[in-house]
Amino acid sequence: MSNDTSNQMWGGRFSAGVDAIMEAINASIDYDKRMAAQDIEGSRAHAAMLAAAGIVTDSDAEAMREGLLTVLSEIEGGTFEFSAALEDIHMNVEARLKALIGAPAGRLHTGRSRNDQVATDFRLWVRDQMDAAIEGLEALQRAFLGQAEAGADWVMPGFTHLQTAQPVTWGHHMMAYVEMLGRDVSRFRDARARMNECPLGAAALAGTSFPIDRDMTADALGFDRPAANSLDAVSDRDFALEFLSCASICAMHLSRFSEELVIWSSAQFRFVTLSDSFSTGSSIMPQKKNPDAAELIRAKIGRIFGANVALMTVMKGLPLAYSKDMQEDKEQTFDAADNLMLALAAMEGMVRDMSANRESLAAAAGNGFSTATDLADWCVRVLNMPFREAHHVTGSLVAMAEEKGCDLPDLSLAEMQKVNGEITGDVFSVLTVENSVASRTSYGGTAPGEVRKQIARWKEKLV
Whether 283 is a known active-site residue: answer no
Given the residues 15, 73, 83, 282, the one annotated as active site: 282
Given the residues 2, 161, 209, 283, the one annotated as active site: 161
**How far is Cα 391 from Cα 396, in angstroms, rounded to an integer?**
9
Q: Is 204 exposed, middle or buried (0-12, 13-18, 19+ CB in 10 A)?
A: middle
Q: Where are the beta strands (DSSP E) in 79-229?
A: 155-160, 163-169, 197-198, 225-226
What Cα–Cα distance (Å) separates residue 7 from each residue in 15, 24, 27, 177, 339?
6, 15, 20, 56, 37
H-helix segments, 78-113: 89-101
**How far is Cα 398 from Cα 411, in angstroms, rounded to an integer?**
10
Beta bridge partner(s), residue 155: 169
Whether 245 is a known active-site residue: answer no
Q: Where are the beta strands (DSSP E) in 289-438?
A: 355-356
| DSSP annotation of 290 | B
Spell out a b/e string for 67-98, using b for 16 or more CB atoms within 10 Å of the CB, else e. Answer: bbeebbeebeeeebebeeebbbbbebbbebbe
- Residues 158/173, Cβ–Cβ less than 8 Å: yes
What Cα–Cα distance (Å) separates residue 160 from each residue in 50, 318, 411, 453?
63, 44, 25, 25
**How far is Cα 171 from Cα 358, in angstroms, rounded to an integer?**
12
Closest CA to 241 of 187, 295, 280, 285: 187
| DSSP annotation of 277 | G
CA 286 to chain centre: 35
- Residues 220/49, Cβ–Cβ less than 8 Å: yes
HSE value, Cβ hemisphere, 13 Å, CA-based, for 269: 17
| DSSP annotation of 111 | T
Catalytic residues: 161, 282
